[in-house]
Structure 1
């Protein structure tokens, strides 16, 4: 091999076009994250009872859209019968604009022992980040929607009729990173309709234990203005869960 050939070959090997990371390379903008949490309690002796709650949240974030889905399950039973059984599926799709985003959202609740056993809500609207810093984020949303409710059966009303309502939904989603290992979240939602009004507060305090594992305390409260006779207006759920994050 001539000296010219050796020099040309060496030049090609040292060229940026052969580098493992090209100069104009950028990390992909797509980002997928998921959270799975669960809590279980078993009591024996003077009181025999079992309770379970679980939650799975998935987020797929791109430069133009954000897809988010959350599924929650709650179950409790004593030695004689089931005392609580509830499932909640939430889905939201955001299309990003230069300022804020437009969204479509659906929430479907099946609550065997709730004042309303079936609640289906579909809404759309506009949202934006009122505050967005490294540690603090506050998003606000507003838009119209449609809600379907099926009241729980009672002795006076064994076959209740379903209720439908056009609503205005407003929401505030707050996240505060207290420090590197601790995060506080609070989502406040109000649905105002011609026939009924609801207010929901969903809070969570998460503390990382090690790597992707964390301990989470959750508090959920929902107020419904008009409920079937014999039902309570306010429902609350408190959870203590172990959480794992995929990212």
Structure 2
């Protein structure tokens, strides 16, 4: 039996018992009113039930006690069903294998770049996330590539893995392993490791804001063959804001801070929902190195237009 059916059946049974035991015979609720309330309960929609209950109270003030008993019984049944659903979900998560319960999104589109290269090219990204009881895992792959007349003018790849462990409702620890390649910024490979604490500043249905930070280690293979190793500090921001039913604003920002060369990256975007799984996105990416290797320009910008598929 589906959870919605269980909720409706349980609520109606509880309402019948309540009405039989708590309602005086002289205060019987009119049958059409009772039928209207039962029909609302059948839908399982709490807002619809609340509206019908409010109308019933206003039109049948002499039966307020019976109507209140019905409303209370429905609320109790909803709370019970919610606990059952939560327990079933937790059991499902605990029983899932490592390769189950992943959700993600794929992006494909075009970009316009300025800075160390000025061109238009293709952009692709894949983001995967798995939420467990205490653990959360994130995988991110982003690629921007452009080739013209046999010459590569944009070649940027980034791969990141970030596990989080929840310490409380809002506080968590994080780890980060990241690989980057961008020879136009002066390096063939840059490896970053970081660990620290994070906090969910806002955790609402329509807006979520998380901050995290900690020490970091970075190893860079420069385009001239040299290799550098640095210890720095890392800070990050992650904001998701559902502005409207079909419009979402996203903001991601990271900073690796060091006295000789700091790295800042910001991605601001708007997503427009097309249907249940498909969206289109506009994003502006800002990257800045305070002292980039070689003769690289300090600031790169990237404007993306992508098609997004959630799965």
TM-score by length of 2: 0.64
Kindly indicate whether residue 171 of structure 2 is the aligned counterpart of residue 100 of structure 1.
yes
Contact 1:50–1:77 (8 Å) recurs in 2: no
For 1:117 and 1:106, locate their aligned partners in 2 and report how far apart those are by CA, in whole Å.
Answer: 17
Kindly indicate whether residue 281 of structure 2 is the aligned counterpart of residue 216 of structure 1.
yes
For 1:169 and 1:64, locate their aligned partners in 2 and report how far apart those are by CA, in whole Å.
Answer: 23
- 1:194 Cα deviation (Å)? 4.4
Unaligned runs of 5+ in 1: 1-22, 42-48, 154-158
- 1:25 Cα deviation (Å)? 5.0
1:231 paired residue number: 296
Structure with a larger share of its residues in strand: 1
What pairs with 1:3-22 in structure 2 (closer than 5 Å)?
none
Distance 1:213 1:223, change over 3 A: same
Question: Secondary structure of the residue that 1:210 maps to in structure 2?
Answer: coil
Contact 1:119–1:149 (8 Å) recurs in 2: yes
Contact 1:93–1:103 (8 Å) recurs in 2: yes
Kindly indicate whether residue 97 of structure 2 is the aligned counterpart of residue 36 of structure 1.
no
For 2:120 and 2:200, locate their aligned partners in 1 and report how far apart those are by CA, in whole Å.
Answer: 41
For 1:78 and 1:25, locate their aligned partners in 2 and report how far apart those are by CA, in whole Å.
Answer: 55
Question: Secondary structure of the residue that 2:274 maps to in structure 1?
Answer: strand
Kindly indicate whether residue 265 of structure 2 is the aligned counterpart of residue 200 of structure 1.
yes
Question: Secondary structure of the residue that 1:241 maps to in structure 2?
Answer: strand
2:186 to 87, 111, 115: 115
Contact 2:185–2:297 (8 Å) recurs in 1: no
For 1:240 and 1:50, locate their aligned partners in 2 and report how far apart those are by CA, in whole Å.
Answer: 11
Deviations 1:58-79 (A, max 9, x none): 0000121100000011110112
- Mark the structure with the bigger radius of gyration: 2
- 1:50 Cα deviation (Å)? 7.1
Kindly indicate whether residue 206 of structure 2 is the aligned counterpart of residue 135 of structure 1.
yes
Unaligned runs of 5+ in 2: 1-80, 94-100, 112-118
What pairs with 1:63-78 in structure 2 (closer than 5 Å)?
63-78=133-148
Contact 2:171–2:200 (8 Å) recurs in 1: yes
Question: Secondary structure of the residue that 1:113 maps to in structure 2?
Answer: helix
- 1:40 Cα deviation (Å)? 4.7
Give the total of aligned pairs.
212
Deviations 1:158-203 (A, max 9, x none): x4x2111101111111111101111111112111124321111112
1:20 paired residue number: none
Contact 2:128–2:140 (8 Å) recurs in 1: yes
Deviations 1:57-109 (A, max 9, x none): 00000121100000011110112411111110011000001141001111100
